[in-house]
């Protein structure tokens, strides 16, 4: 399907992992895709995705915690591609530490990227939706830890609970304008971040070798497997579509049934 032909979609953290899966799905469905991430190779990642899908994909280096940089990047994207239809706030980080070792710097990093960064990008997207009269879509990446905190990550859990609250608040404010705001809560997904989680949590929780803790956790998923970035991309593409026009303020788990709430 080419549901997004003629539309421009902005995806933060779109150069790898879940974000890459989201960006690829929109590209396959005909969108012009803008990916923005802090990594210096983001333009190269965009070029690779364009070559793979045949879509128009542009990449910008962006620190989502910098309000001026966010505004400039959205402005550049619109100047090049026209009004935005969808903005996906996916950029995120995680660190893992026991409470007595958790530093203020780690706390600030997680809250700044995962919550403040989502807000700044939503704020800028809304400005542009209103200026162009677009009934746009905002989709925010939370986490299973936005539903249920986990050991050694109180800062990360707090940041993702914040995303859910932000989503609900904005959805109520923007509903009468036809702008929908929803969030997703990915569970265990095959990404570099989960490779990090497996290694660091494994070391802290016991004598786990590479992949062993991940395998143990996956056994607890009712569907018996981890998810893929492509599956997350499919959910996000649905939430951005006309078929989801009456869905707003919702947070949807995508975790194989791990958390049912």
Q: Can you say whether the dihedral through the CA atoms of 48, 54, 55, 58 is positive or negative?
A: positive
Angle at 197 between CA 195 and CA 198, to 5 degrees: 65
Q: Distance between CA 184 and CA 250 in Å, rounded?
A: 8
Closest CA to 53 of 73, 28, 20: 28
Q: Distance between CA 121 and CA 64 in Å, rounded?
A: 7
Give Rg (Cα) of the chain.
Answer: 18
- The CA distances from residue 94 to 98, 157, 195, 198, 241, in Å, are 13, 9, 12, 12, 30
**Segment (H or E) for 260:** none
Angle at 44 between CA 235 and CA 72, to 5 degrees: 75
Task: Specify whether 208 is catalytic.
Answer: no
Per-residue HEC secondary structure of 76-116 comes to: HHHHHHCCCCEEEECCCCCCCCCCCCCCHHHHHHHHHHHHH
Active-site residue identified among 4, 152, 156, 196: 156
Return the active site residues.
Answer: 156
């Amino acid at each position: 399907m080419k549901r997004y032909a003629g539309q421009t979609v902005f995806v933060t953290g779109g150069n790898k992992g879940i974000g890459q899966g989201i960006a690829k799905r929109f590209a396959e469905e005909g969108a012009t895709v803008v990916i923005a991430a802090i990594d210096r190779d983001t333009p190269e990642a965009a070029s690779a995705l364009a070559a793979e899908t045949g879509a128009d994909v542009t990449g910008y280096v962006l620190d989502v915690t910098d309000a001026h940089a966010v505004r400039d990047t959205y402005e550049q994207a619109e100047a090049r591609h026209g009004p935005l239809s969808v903005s996906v706030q996916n950029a995120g980080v995680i660190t893992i530490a026991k409470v007595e070792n958790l530093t203020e710097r780690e706390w600030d990093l997680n809250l700044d990227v995962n919550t403040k960064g989502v807000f700044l990008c939503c704020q800028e997207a809304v400005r542009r939706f209103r200026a162009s009269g677009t009934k746009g879509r905002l989709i925010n990446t939370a986490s299973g830890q936005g539903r249920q905190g986990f050991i050694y990550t109180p800062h990360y859990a707090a940041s993702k609970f914040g995303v859910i609250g932000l989503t609900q608040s904005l959805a109520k404010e923007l509903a009468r304008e036809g702008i929908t705001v929803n969030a997703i809560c990915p569970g265990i997904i095959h990404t570099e971040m989960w490779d990090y989680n497996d290694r660091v949590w494994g070391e802290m929780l016991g004598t786990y070798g590479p992949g062993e803790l991940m395998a143990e956790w996956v056994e607890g998923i009712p569907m018996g497997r981890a998810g893929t970035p492509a599956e997350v991309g499919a959910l996000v593409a649905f939430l951005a579509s006309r078929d989801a026009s009456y869905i707003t303020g919702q947070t949807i788990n995508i975790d194989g049934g791990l958390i049912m709430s």
